[in-house]
Amino acid sequence: MRGIYWVCAVCAMLAMGLLMARQAETKAPKKITYEELVKLLEKPQDVLFIDVREPNEIEVTGTLKGALTIPVGQLADRLKEVPKDKPVVAFCRRGGRATRASNLLDEKGYKTLGVFGLEEYHDRLKDYLVYPK
Q: What is the DSSP letter of 31?
A: B
Q: What is the pLDDT of residue 24?
A: 45
Assess if residue 115 is contained within a domain: yes
For the chain, state the CA radius of gyration.
19
| Residue 71: burial class (beta carbons within 10 Å; 0-12, 13-18, 19+) | middle
Assess if residue 84 is contained within a domain: yes
Assess if residue 34 is contained within a domain: yes
Q: Residue 116: which domain range?
A: 27-130
d(CA 131, CA 62): 4
Specify the number of domains making up the chain: 1
Active-site annotation, residues: 92
User: What's 99's domain CATH number?
Assistant: 3.40.250.10
Quick: pLDDT tens for 14-63. 556 555 555 545 678 999 999 999 999 999 999 999 999 999 999 999 99
One-letter amino acid of 74? Q
One-letter amino acid of 124? R
Assess if residue 105 is contained within a domain: yes
Assess if residue 18 is contained within a domain: no
Work out the end-to-end distance of the chain between its first and last CA atoms, rounded to an integer number of angstroms. Answer: 63
Quick: pLDDT tens for 72-118. 999 999 999 999 999 999 999 999 999 999 999 999 999 999 999 99
